[in-house]
DNA sequence: GCCGTTTTCGGCCCGACTGTTTTCAGTCG
């Protein structure tokens, strides 16, 4: 098991224990163990019992739990409490703002055992009558539960991209299969996947079907399968899978047909012509197909049915940003706050990966939980940055901060301290339960703050798990345009925030974006890949991406921002 | 459940924010 999986299990155990009224100090030892694993680098799975026991906060009991997790995937105490708790109640523990105590009331007093029960109870107004609940909690809960129910069979892209590749490889190795590709949502690089699709070109549909059914992790739902499709589940994914069988000569027809959205397929491309209508003839390649319709080739991630047909017909497809266009990495954390690796490690690793610069932006002082930097820490970090810059030149570390946007929209330090940074990412981390007016006003005030360089994860959403606070995207983008504030595309696969659907509007307004990994460890840099995927979907070019600037360009950019502040 | 010791039991614990209260419990990052 990975450290993060072990951590999740310990956290779940702690929540369940609290739900069942266990000794709070015992519960805390589980939370404490989970927290300390967060900052650990060594793999727990590879450590001996003695090594585990040497860690402060891990005693005999926890070491045994970890050993058991590695061997069986669970441990006695966790099993015991899971046994005592309905699945729906376990799911309820995942709702933000409602912890074990509240969930216990819903379960014990309200008789709620599933998310559907809970939604009904909210809708009937009964939740507001429970102890510790009122109108507002009921409304919040209703929205959160409805969101969870609608995402019940959805996965984040990063949760399934590896799995799709494995299936592609598996199928491609079969003798009667000539070609195979992902298609549909993953091929379009959607941020959330509720149907995983593949196209398999095969000489023998039924043989391929039976081969799929021989894979232990695949289970067919025959009622939903058809003569040319296999429909079912993969053990490792919440979302269903649809596999399209096609004769080798019609492979590209099926690939095009299943990749684009219905809208893409039905936008007129000529006199009584749509992409869909033109798929009748045999197609040698996707490129040749689009060319035959008198337009430029449209990459899969753009086939949403928005402006791409227009662009392709008028030779105006943006020159989409690529991995090699990223010159530096902004918005990263170190051990100064809640990061796993030291500033030096983060800097050296970034340099080794071939980037020209790193922007470090640890949490600010209000984020006490994350070890946010007090004034003295800022000074200490800036001294270290100075020293690193002498050592690592021409590579450069920029001194930044991820400043909390406080409830009233102000930033988290004195003018003097704010002025000491090269750049500032302003983000909301607390008080997420706001209406659209309050949230928008709060963000606008931060955008109008002359010290703000980048607006961080605009809506605070956690894909599949938590809806972001509602914001008036247009108003905020307009303000960013007016003030020259850069908007972050937070590349964490949990966030991908701002939503790519707003990139086009931002570009229209001349706003600059920035693909930032929000890395809390060296490996976090790899998340840039996910940010890049959604950035491309939104039509981002390197010219409009801040961290595509060279070192000298971005130095000049930060300097000119600071002069205006 | 962990830790430490006055050594086998007693103490352990971040603080802001929210929504519920009528002075605070619960939650979170």
Using CA atoms, how far apart are residues A381 and A181, in angstroms rounded to an integer?
A: 48
Q: Which residue is nearest to nucleotide B14 (CA to C1')?
A: A369
Q: Which residue is nearest to nucleotide B25 (CA to C1')?
A: A132
Using CA atoms, how far apart are residues A558 and A452, in angstroms rounded to an integer?
A: 11
Is the CB of A369 less than 7 A from some atom of nucleic acid strand B? yes
- Architecture of A323-564 per CATH? Alpha-Beta Barrel (3.20)
Asked if A88 and A114 touch (Cβ cutoff 8 Å), the reply is: yes
Is the CB of A29 less than 7 A from some atom of nucleic acid strand B? yes
Asked if A201 and A244 touch (Cβ cutoff 8 Å), the reply is: no
Is the CB of A60 less than 7 A from some atom of nucleic acid strand B? yes
Is the CB of A63 less than 7 A from some atom of nucleic acid strand B? yes
Residue A526 makes CB contacts below 8 A (sequence gap 6+) with A517
Asked if A212 and A229 touch (Cβ cutoff 8 Å), the reply is: no
The set of strand B positions with any atom below 7 Å of a protein CB reads: 1-4, 11-12, 14-21, 25-29
| Nearest nt (C1') from A132 Cα | B20
| Nearest nt (C1') from A407 Cα | B17
Residue A281 makes CB contacts below 8 A (sequence gap 6+) with none
Which stretches of A192-245 are DSSP H helices? 205-213
| Nearest nt (C1') from A23 Cα | B1
CATH number of A3-150: 1.10.150.110
Element (DSSP H or E) covering residue A490 = strand A486-490
Is the CB of A143 less than 7 A from some atom of nucleic acid strand B? no
Torsion of CA A85, A90, A92, A95, to 10 degrees: 150
| Nearest nt (C1') from A462 Cα | B29
- The tokens for A537 are 């979907």
CATH number of A155-313: 3.30.460.10
- The tokens for A382 are 């800036």
User: In this structure, what are the phi and psi dihedrals at residue A474, rounded to the nearest 5 degrees?
Assistant: -60, -45
- The tokens for A547 are 């961290």
pLDDT (tens digit, 0 to 9) for every residue of chain A, 565 residues total?
Answer: 888 889 999 999 999 999 998 888 888 899 989 888 887 878 899 998 888 998 888 999 999 999 999 999 999 999 999 999 999 999 999 888 899 999 999 999 999 999 999 999 999 999 999 988 988 899 889 988 999 899 999 999 999 999 999 999 999 999 999 999 999 999 999 999 999 999 999 999 999 999 999 999 999 999 999 999 999 999 999 999 999 999 999 999 999 999 999 999 999 998 889 999 999 888 999 999 999 999 999 999 999 999 999 999 999 999 999 999 999 999 999 989 888 899 999 999 999 999 999 999 999 888 877 778 888 889 999 999 999 999 999 999 999 999 988 888 888 888 899 999 999 999 998 878 788 888 899 899 999 999 999 999 999 888 988 888 889 999 999 999 999 999 999 999 999 999 999 999 999 999 999 999 999 999 999 999 999 999 999 999 999 999 999 999 999 999 999 988 7
Q: Do domains A155-313 and A323-564 have the same CATH topology?
A: no
Is the CB of A367 less than 7 A from some atom of nucleic acid strand B? yes
Residue-wise DSSP of A301-359: GGTTSSSHHHHHHTT----B--GGG--EEEEE--TTTT-SS-HHHHHHHHHHTT-SEEE
Is the CB of A11 less than 7 A from some atom of nucleic acid strand B? no
What are the structural domain ranges in chain A? 3-150, 155-313, 323-564
Which stretches of A426-550 are DSSP H helices? 436-448, 473-483, 503-508, 528-537
Interatomic CA–C1' length for residue A101 and nucleotide B22, angstroms: 21
Is the CB of A77 less than 7 A from some atom of nucleic acid strand B? yes
Is the CB of A405 less than 7 A from some atom of nucleic acid strand B? no
Q: How far is CA A224 from CA A11, A160, A195, A208, A523, in A?
A: 37, 21, 13, 17, 40
């Amino acid at each position: 098991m990975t450290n993060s999986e072990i951590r999740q299990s310990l956290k779940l155990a702690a929540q369940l224990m609290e739900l069942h009224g266990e000794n709070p100090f015992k519960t805390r030892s589980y939370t404490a163990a989970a927290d300390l694993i967060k900052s650990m680098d060594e793999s727990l799975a590879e450590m001996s019992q003695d090594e585990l026991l040497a860690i402060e906060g891990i005693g005999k009991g926890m070491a045994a739990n970890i050993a058991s997790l590695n061997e069986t995937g669970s441990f006695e105490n966790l099993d015991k409490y899971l046994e005592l708790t309905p699945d729906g109640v376990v799911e309820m523990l995942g709702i933000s703002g409602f912890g074990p105590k509240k969930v216990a009331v819903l379960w014990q007093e309200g008789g709620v055992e599933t998310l559907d029960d809970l939604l009904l109870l909210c809708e009937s107004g009964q939740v507001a009558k429970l102890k510790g609940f009122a109108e507002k909690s009921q409304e919040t809960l209703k929205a959160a539960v409805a969101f969870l129910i609608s995402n019940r069979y959805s996965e984040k892209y990063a949760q399934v991209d590896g799995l799709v590749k494995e299936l592609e490889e598996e199928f491609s190795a079969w003798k009667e299969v000539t070609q195979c590709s992902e298609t549909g949502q993953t091929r379009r690089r959607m941020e959330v996947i509720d149907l995983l699709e593949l196209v398999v070109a095969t000489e023998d549909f039924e043989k391929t079907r039976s081969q799929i059914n021989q894979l232990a992790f695949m289970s067919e739902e025959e009622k939903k399968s058809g003569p040319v499709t296999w429909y079912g589940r993969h053990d490792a994914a919440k979302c269903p899978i649809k596999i399209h069988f096609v004769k080798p000569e019609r492979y590209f027809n099926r690939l095009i047909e299943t990749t684009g959205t219905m809208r893409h397929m039905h936008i007129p491309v000529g006199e009584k012509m749509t992409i869909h209508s033109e798929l009748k003839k045999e197609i040698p390649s996707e490129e040749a197909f689009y060319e035959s319709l008198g337009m430029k080739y449209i990459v899969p991630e753009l086939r949403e049915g928005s402006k791409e047909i227009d662009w392709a017909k008028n030779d105006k497809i943006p020159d989409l940003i690529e991995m090699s266009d990223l010159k530096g990495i902004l918005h990263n954390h170190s051990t100064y706050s809640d990061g796993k690796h030291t500033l030096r490690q983060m800097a050296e690793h970034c340099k080794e990966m071939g980037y020209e610069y790193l922007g470090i932006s640890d949490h600010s002082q209000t984020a006490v939980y994350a070890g946010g930097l007090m004034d003295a820490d800022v000074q200490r970090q800036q001294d270290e940055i100075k020293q690193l810059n002498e050592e690592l030149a021409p590579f450069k570390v920029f001194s930044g901060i991820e400043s909390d946007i406080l409830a009233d929209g102000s930033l988290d330090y004195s003018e003097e301290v704010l002025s000491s940074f090269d750049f500032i990412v302003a983000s909301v981390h607390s008080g997420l339960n706001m209406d659209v007016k309050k949230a928008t006003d709060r963000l606008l005030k931060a955008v109008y703050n002359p010290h703000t360089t980048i607006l961080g994860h605009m809506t605070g959403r956690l894909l599949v798990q938590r809806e972001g606070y509602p914001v008036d995207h247009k108003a905020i983008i307009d303000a960013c345009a007016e003030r020259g504030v850069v908007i972050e595309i937070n590349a964490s696969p949990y966030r991908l925030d701002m939503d790519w659907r707003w990139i086009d509007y931002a570009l229209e307004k001349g706003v600059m974006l920035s693909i930032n990994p929000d890395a809390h460890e060296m490996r976090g840099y790899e998340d840039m890949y996910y940010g890049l995927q959604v950035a491309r979907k939104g039509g981002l070019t390197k010219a409009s991406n801040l961290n595509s600037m060279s070192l000298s360009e971005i130095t000049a950019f930060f300097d000119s921002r600071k002069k205006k502040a």
